[in-house]
Amino acid sequence: MEIRASSRRDMETAKEFSYVVNFRSTSPLSTVIFLAVVFLSTWAVSAFILFKLYSSGRAGSFPVFLIYMVMAFVLLLFLYAILAYFKMPKRQYEFFGYSKDAEISYLFEDDTVTEYENTQNSSGNTTINYATLKKVYESTKRLYIYIDKVHVLIVDKSTITGGSVDELRDKLRDAVGKNYLVCKS
């Protein structure tokens, strides 16, 4: 079996990769909207409770700090979602470094995958045995194949030749088992 594929490390790829990593099996925009509603609702209810406690003079008999802690936790969760949706794709694109906007080619064989990189600053190839793969995230457009926690092969599914997406998916599922996740983003 010889399946060939490629991917361009552009801003669109960085955006989708960031969403896959941060939101996995949920829609990124839906998550941000949901957390905004939760944030506003929690803060409104908390403000109402605090107002009632302070206006009735019972604030000293109730653990008010718990309400403040809930408000702070919801705020942090909301800020993380905003950061992950708006800022992280730009940071991921910068993280591509010298391979920004480069076309990376892949050759999937029976036991190995080889990455061919040819950029302005470097060129070379890396061969990886399927047994060393850690996990795979699949989005509607791409496969994200983790070699370790930091190094990821990004494969554009529309560029697959010499086989089908299903054949490659089966090969990767066999390699990573339960660490194969289909994402909605």
Residue 61 confidence (pLDDT):
66
Residue 113 confidence (pLDDT):
95
The whole-angstrom separation of Cα 119 and Cα 78 is 38
Residue 178 confidence (pLDDT):
94
Please say if the pLDDT value at position 1 is more than 80.
no
- pLDDT range class, residue 172, cuts 50, 70, 90: very high
Paired tokens of 17: 């990769």
Residue 21 confidence (pLDDT):
85
What residues have CB less than 8 Å from 99, skipping those under 6 apart? Answer: 9, 117, 119
pLDDT digits (tens, 9 = 90+) for 68-123: 888 889 889 889 889 889 999 999 899 888 788 888 999 999 999 999 987 777 77
Cβ neighbours around 139 below 10 Å, total: 18
The whole-angstrom separation of Cα 175 and Cα 173 is 5
Q: Where are the domains of the chain?
A: 3-17+99-182, 23-95
Residue 157 confidence (pLDDT):
96
Comparing C-alpha atoms, which of 4, 7, 1, 163 is closest to residue 100? Answer: 7
Residue 13 confidence (pLDDT):
92
pLDDT digits (tens, 9 = 90+) for 21-64: 888 767 788 888 888 898 889 888 988 888 887 788 776 666 77
- pLDDT range class, residue 185, cuts 50, 70, 90: low
CATH topology of domain 3-17+99-182: PH-domain like (2.30.29)
Q: Give me the phi and psi of 110, to 5 degrees please.
A: -60, -45
Please say if the pLDDT value at position 138 is more than 70.
yes
